[in-house]
Amino acid sequence: MRPTEQQLKHFHTFGYVVFRQLFNAAEIKRITDEFETVIQTVGGGDQHDGSNRTLIVPTIDHNKYLCTLL
């Protein structure tokens, strides 16, 4: 997928581009599950309930599947 001129302009202005529908529902579930696994294994094992910020840097380096998304 190549970005359009408008997407490139947005990227150069704001630093990101949104690609809607890039992943299907099953892929989003897998990505979410893999992030949760990283939070559980690297983040101390506590259940992440969203009440506090969790920071694991770099996150994707702790998971082979997430690294394949780059």
pLDDT of residue 56: 78
Whole-model pTM over 0.75: no
CA distance 32 to 42: 15
pLDDT of residue 51: 82
Parse the chain into domains and list their residue ranges. 22-70
Kindly report the backbone phi and psi dihedral angles of residue 10, in degrees, each rounded to the nearest multiple of 5, phi listed first: -60, -45
pLDDT of residue 70: 82
Residues 24-61 have pLDDT tens digits of 999 999 999 998 888 888 877 766 677 877 777 888 88
My answer on whether omega of the bond before 3 falls inside 30° of 0, hence cis, is no
**Which residue in the block uniquely carries the two structure tokens 């990505």?**
31
Residues 3-27 have pLDDT tens digits of 899 999 999 999 999 998 999 999 9
